Chain A
Amino acid sequence: MLAFGLSSVLNPGDEILLSPFEHHANLLPWRRVAEERGAIVRTMPMTTDLMLDLDGSLAMMNERTKIVATTLVSNVLGTIIPVANLAERAHELGALVIVDAAQAAPHLPIDVNDLGADALVFSSHKCYGPAGIAALILSNSLIDTLEPMILGGGMVDSVESDGATWKSGPEKFEGGSPNVEGAIGFAAALKTINYANTPRAFLVHRLQSFPSIILFDPPFAVAIIAFTVIGLHPHDVADMLGQRGICIRAGNCCATPLVEKLSPNGILRVSLGRETTEEDVQKFIDELSTIISFTSI
């Protein structure tokens, strides 16, 4: 929705810069908008230790850069992206900074102003809330200048026979009947988030003890850990774990361009939540160990 709303700032030859960690949700809309407007999508570089190559990324910005769209945290690797550093240079060049905080919201406290984001989005279902609702935070200037993307009841001050006047502020973007139940659930869910230390280090240490595991472990990351098991397909491992009461993600995690660089058949991803304990992690490790032993016979 935001990408299409911002398409009017793009002219042929303008550039949209994306991080190399994007979820399809923050990749495909920009590709579509770029195609429609004759703009160019460029991908910022990644370092060998799976972080954003900040120097290389800053060097890519120029007067044609109009939008820098990046996730705050990789949904695959947990990598934390230095958004504030990107935003500083982007704003010097007059570009907008759009932040996908869907994966960051349940793991990190977020200060939109410190990040320098012109727009920041995050979704309820990643924060233990109901599916089908998300939050969009806009800078004051974007709230004023951005045209509403959804038209309908509730977002107009008045409708005349030949025109309409939009409401001001966030309501301008809330056309149609609001998802009241979703909003209440979302708000309640946000109050349950805690950023207490999760047993990430414990999990990484345990995974490192398996000689058949390839671990993707960036130095600055939240409690999202990706790995593969040599000789086992990720979906098979996830299936077997699922049958034993442990749900982890397998495959490309809706971030195919990134995952293809890590492993041709996808990865396994463990996300530690607000209530995950060391005992939970140990149970997972025990089950994984059983599966690896069993399948290597």
Chain B
Amino acid sequence: MMDDYAYLLSLAKRTSNSTPMTDATVSATATNASCGDSCTVSLKVANGVIQEVSFEATGCVIGRASAAVVVGQIGQSAITPWAIASLGQITGKEIRELLGVAVSPLRERCLTTALNALQIAIAKIK
């Protein structure tokens, strides 16, 4: 278990230095009342392509580690319209599998807070 938490902590640290994007095209915040988690996703979009992504995640380790997993799904390169559509289809089950750590059902919403924020932001892209 401590190994699992060590892994989660290492993932969570990846989102701890995120900086807010001041010139985002769209942004969205999702919260998880049970843990007080909050994740804000900001996207810079040009010609239907995501050029830049910013995640600001606060809260529990699982919420912040999941945000890192979601960031990992986006990758570093520009996201095409096709890739944007696939991001919109990611499920909580996939995030759980990507995280690779057993999470109690009580923490289910911690897993999906960042994903919710991303998908709300994607839905705002015209």
Knowing A235-B107, A236-B61, A236-B62, the reply to whether A295 touches B34 (Cβ < 8 A) is no
Taking CB atoms, residues of chain A closer than 8 Å to B107 are 235, 239
At the interface, yes or no: B1 with Cβ under 8 Å from chain A? Answer: yes
Q: Which of B1, B34, B35, B36 contacts A240 (CB 8 A)?
A: B1
Inter-chain CA distance A240–B1, complex, in Å, is 7
Q: Which of A244, A251, A295 contacts B9 (CB 8 A)?
A: A295
Taking CB atoms, residues of chain B closer than 8 Å to A240 are 1-2, 5
At the interface, yes or no: A211 with Cβ under 8 Å from chain B? Answer: no
Taking CB atoms, residues of chain B closer than 8 Å to A266 are 35-36
Instruction: List the A residue with the shortest CB-CB distance to B103.
Output: A239
11 A-B pairs in the complex with CB atoms less than 8 angstroms apart? A233-B35, A233-B59, A235-B35, A240-B1, A240-B2, A242-B104, A251-B35, A264-B36, A266-B36, A294-B6, A295-B9
Inter-chain CA distance A294–B61, complex, in Å, is 14
Binding site for B on A (CB under 8 A): 233, 235-236, 239-240, 242-244, 251, 264-266, 294-295
Taking CB atoms, residues of chain A closer than 8 Å to B110 are 235
At the interface, yes or no: B60 with Cβ under 8 Å from chain A? Answer: yes
Interface positions, chain B 84-121, Cβ under 8 Å from A, are 104, 107, 110
5 smallest beta-carbon distances between A and B, as pairs: A233-B60, A243-B1, A265-B36, A236-B61, A235-B60
Inter-chain CA distance A251–B36, complex, in Å, is 9
Contact string, B1-30, partner A, CB cutoff 8 A, digits 1/0?
Answer: 110011001000000000000000000000
Inter-chain CA distance A266–B34, complex, in Å, is 9
CB distance from B53 to the nearest CB of A (A): 24
Range of interface residues on B (Cβ < 8 Å): 10 to 19
CB distance from B101 to the nearest CB of A (A): 11
Inter-chain CA distance A294–B4, complex, in Å, is 12
A-B contact count (CB 8 A): 36
Q: Which of A235, A244, A251, A295 contacts B1 (CB 8 A)?
A: A244
Q: Which of B5, B6, B34 contacts A236 (CB 8 A)?
A: B5
Inter-chain CA distance A243–B62, complex, in Å, is 15
CB distance from B56 to the nearest CB of A (A): 16
Inter-chain CA distance A44–B36, complex, in Å, is 26
Q: Which of A235, A265, A295 contacts B5 (CB 8 A)?
A: A295
Knowing A233-B61, A239-B107, A295-B9, the reply to whether A251 touches B34 (Cβ < 8 A) is yes
Inter-chain CA distance A176–B60, complex, in Å, is 45
Query: Which of B2, B9, B107 counts the most A-chain CB atoms under 10 A from its CB?
Result: B2
CB distance from B70 to the nearest CB of A (A): 19
CB distance from B122 to the nearest CB of A (A): 27
Knowing A294-B5, A295-B5, A295-B9, the reply to whether A239 touches B104 (Cβ < 8 A) is yes
Inter-chain CA distance A295–B9, complex, in Å, is 8
CB distance from B109 to the nearest CB of A (A): 11
Inter-chain CA distance A233–B32, complex, in Å, is 13
Inter-chain CA distance A242–B36, complex, in Å, is 20
CB distance from A65 to the nearest CB of B (A): 32
Taking CB atoms, residues of chain A closer than 8 Å to B1 are 240, 243-244
Inter-chain CA distance A244–B5, complex, in Å, is 13
Q: Are B2 and A236 in contact (CB under 8 A)?
A: no
Interface positions, chain B 55-74, Cβ under 8 Å from A, are 59-62
Q: Which of B6, B35, B62, B104 contacts A265 (CB 8 A)?
A: B35
CB distance from B63 to the nearest CB of A (A): 8
CB distance from B74 to the nearest CB of A (A): 25
Inter-chain CA distance A251–B109, complex, in Å, is 14
CB distance from B85 to the nearest CB of A (A): 33
Instruction: List the A residue with the shortest CB-CB distance to B110.
Output: A235
Taking CB atoms, residues of chain B closer than 8 Å to A264 are 36
CB distance from A154 to the nearest CB of B (A): 38
CB distance from A290 to the nearest CB of B (A): 8
CB distance from A230 to the nearest CB of B (A): 15
Knowing A233-B61, A235-B110, A239-B107, the reply to whether A294 touches B35 (Cβ < 8 A) is no
